[in-house]
Structure 1
């Protein structure tokens, strides 16, 4: 078998240029004729992307394709880094919320996933061994402060939060888990609110802060129904820490009672605290997001909080979440940057980038025209004239396709109303029955 020759790198206008030609290069895959978008610089150029041995080797307007093993026609489409979903729950089979990222990646364009606290010290090894290490996707996790991990009290008949008993906040065990699984973890996660910590919110937050400080890793805080209130939570967060569910409605949101972005939120952002959307089943309000956008406040990371109870709506997937921000008026480039490079920074230097030498994780997306119903967590539905739709997904240099035999990922809690029929699911979406 003839060995493939290594490609020399050539870069299209708007991207860093390197010397080299392509007349003798044999690419494994070329994404051809699309508009390549660099989310860091915002540069756009019509170019081909050439891949060899799972790596981006060239971005150039006219790559030779005669001997290429596979071509992806990207005419009229945007060619992006693989999308990065900064808030998901992928411990499938290990927690009721879990979805299988391998089953969802091809259709969603998401090649990098962050699991946010599904598992605690007592069960994170299962997440690492059975999901993260077995998947070809890039997956890292926040470890829950609670020894048992996340208990989805709001999504089942169970009415006992994971930190109702403060003895489950085992600081030592959490620290040991972070150290033992260091290549696969990003930090410690805590959910604050009536369904998770009950009256133990502040003491649990203090314990999580101690874990983050001792480990040198990030702290991610979920805010929901008080206690405590968001202004009381933010002082505990340092540069690089994250607040998730940024646009949640109600008292724990980023808006004060007059509809203004809270002063405490602006101050936290100034000192480097990151704000993550975390749409979820109950944590995204069009009204809150709209008011915040009018004041110049956009979450640093646009994420889905995808799990088994919202994958059939209103969330569906990350591209549907991003389309909601397009409907609110956020420019396309800014929207995509918040679902590629910004969350990618948490995972590694090249994650969420499309550059020569990086792993070839690529999403080819189109802006489809039509009428699309987009729902938030409060029941508001916005009709929009276009949506982001995934045309192709490349993972480590290979095109991946959805497996139609994989079971549907969604679950329905008994007693909940059916999914709003005004919502438009992604093409090919198979809901749970």
Structure 2
């Protein structure tokens, strides 16, 4: 007897049949057709796609902030995302409160701790370098080791003011004390500091988010070519993460990068209340539509929101549709021959003829229909 049997699903790899059985909070069987299954609950997927649960590795969902905030469940299971990773909304001062709030949510919630102890109480949280303290950061990482899975450093001028790359240097020092493999995600934007100076400090354990923005301090030079230092960082193994956001994904930048082969390893939204309600982000599915538009396969885009973030952040029980993994699943349709308009962060628009539509989230073995 299993708890949940999903039958008549479709595989994202080749459209072949796929069925899944769940016992408790774990996947116990996956196959083209599961025979002899007796289940407490059976759901006929009627040909819908089923994948490992989507993971958004860049959201802002601490509800008590005023700049970037949201309800994790609005960013999460209600839109087909079963796991969200908050990207540094909170620091040592307030991450304990954030942790307590997230325990009451349906969506799996993890966090990167902001290298500054205040978190994003204001846009310039790293303008005072005295907020970057080792002892309080290390203490809460130890206290909430099941929740804090990375460090976030925001390295753009409005955040660091006159401190340049010093916050990142300190974040890297903390990372080294944690054993080196603890990931650091770095936000980039307007200069100073220069993008090259930021990337020069990063290595294969680090994640660059907002890498495809349209700002002057970006990966494209004045002649429209990819900067050599960006290629060096990419080849060094730094993970390039989309981090779409309100101001950080530009079609023209991505046209150049994609054509040259400097493609993202992971796709994230940088979603929060305002860009969820008003765009251009809206949700993970809309973000994924943009990469289908660029010719990426369905399997590739789904891998970039399942396996890739699970690997980046050491989520060893998530990201794969295999027995033994957590029973986090996303069930969705791909509607074809329907015209949609997609908008980047600089209000540029393009049309496309397909749309991903999430229909159900299964979070730790429990199924939730998605409205609308």
Q: TM-score, normalised by structure 2?
A: 0.93
- Name the CA distance, whole Å, in 2 between partners of 1:203 and 1:397: 44
Match of 1:338 among 288, 298, 304: 304
Other-structure match for 1:135: 105
- Name the CA distance, whole Å, in 2 between partners of 1:351 and 1:128: 20
Other-structure match for 1:147: 117
Match of 2:132 among 163, 169, 172: 169
Q: Deviations over 1:181-227 (max 9, x none)?
A: 22211222111112111111222222222222222322211001001
Relative distance call for 1:65 and 1:381 in structure 2 (3 A) is: farther
Say whether the 8 Å CA contact 2:342–2:350 is kept in structure 1. yes
Equivalences for residues 325-364 of structure 1 within 5 A = 325-345=291-311, 346-364=313-331
Other-structure match for 1:390: 358
Say whether the 8 Å CA contact 2:65–2:120 is kept in structure 1. no
- Name the CA distance, whole Å, in 1 between partners of 2:19 and 2:357: 20
Q: What are the ranges of 5 or more consecutive residues in structure 2 without an aligned counterpart?
A: none
1:365 paired with 2:332, answer yes
Q: Deviations over 1:249-288 (max 9, x none)?
A: 1123222222222222222222221111100000010111
- Name the CA distance, whole Å, in 1 between partners of 2:165 and 2:309: 27
Say whether the 8 Å CA contact 2:214–2:249 is kept in structure 1. yes
Q: Deviations over 1:370-424 (max 9, x none)?
A: 111111110111111111110211111211135xxxxxxxxxxxxxxxxxxxxxx
- Name the CA distance, whole Å, in 2 between partners of 1:172 and 1:383: 50
Q: Deviations over 1:31-56 (max 9, x none)?
A: 2112224xxxx566312112222321
- Name the CA distance, whole Å, in 2 between partners of 1:299 and 1:395: 26
- Name the CA distance, whole Å, in 1 between partners of 2:307 and 2:15: 15
Q: What are the ranges of 5 or more consecutive residues in structure 1 without an aligned counterpart?
A: 1-25, 154-160, 403-426, 429-433
Other-structure match for 2:2: 27
Equivalences for residues 4-403 of structure 1 within 5 A = 26-37=1-12, 42=13, 45-64=16-35, 67-131=38-102, 133-153=103-123, 161-216=124-179, 217-312=182-277, 313-345=279-311, 346-369=313-336, 370-401=338-369
Which of 205-214 and 240-249 deviates more?
Answer: 205-214
Q: 1:67: how far off?
A: 4.6
SS in 2 for 1:359: coil
Q: TM-score, normalised by structure 1?
A: 0.80
- Name the CA distance, whole Å, in 1 between partners of 2:153 and 2:33: 49
SS in 1 for 2:158: coil
Say whether the 8 Å CA contact 1:94–1:127 is kept in structure 2. no
